[in-house]
Amino acid sequence: MAKKILIVDDSSTIRQTVAVALSQIGYDLIEACDGVDGLLRLAQNSDVALVICDVNMPKKNGIEVLLTIRADARYAAVPVVMLTTEGNPDLMEQAKLAGAKGWLVKPFRPEALVSTVKKLAGLP
């Protein structure tokens, strides 16, 4: 059975780009349109192997999503990768301290995304 990756981004274009890159190498993908939707979908899919999360989103931003995930013992071991237009070192440090395992800046290279996912989630 393929590993599940949760993609949380308010841009449908980014979700689609990530989905194309990862589905071609065998991951099952779940998409969420904002932070609140992402947390709901995570709760519905307890076997998610990795979360890819935007930072700037409506309803709940990526740092808030990350902190919520880390506060829940059920998801303590699930790696979270931030995928964002932000290159702010302070924000990157905040995410790292909150428990992010990676940070990719948009626009991203699909190869970099695939490499990061394979390293953190394991091969499908």
What are the mean pLDDT values of the chain's consecutive 10-residue runs (124 residues total)? 90 93 90 97 94 94 95 93 87 91 90 92 74
Residue 20, domain member (yes or no): yes
Residue 35 lies in a domain: yes
Spatial contact of 82 and 70, defined as CB atoms under 8 Å apart: no
Q: What total number of domains does the chain contain? A: 1
The contacts of residue 120 (CB under 8 Å, 6+ apart) are 50, 79, 81, 101, 102
Residue 46: inside a domain, yes or no? Answer: yes
**For residue 103, is it within any domain?**
yes
Domain that holds residue 28: 4-119
Query: What pLDDT sits at residue 25?
Result: 87
pLDDT of residue 124: 59
Q: CATH number, domain at 87?
A: 3.40.50.2300
In a domain, 124, yes or no: no
Q: Are 108 and 86 in contact (CB under 8 A)?
A: no
Question: What's the confidence (pLDDT) of residue 34?
Answer: 96
**Taking a C-beta distance cutoff of 8 angstroms, is the pair 121, 79 a contact?**
yes
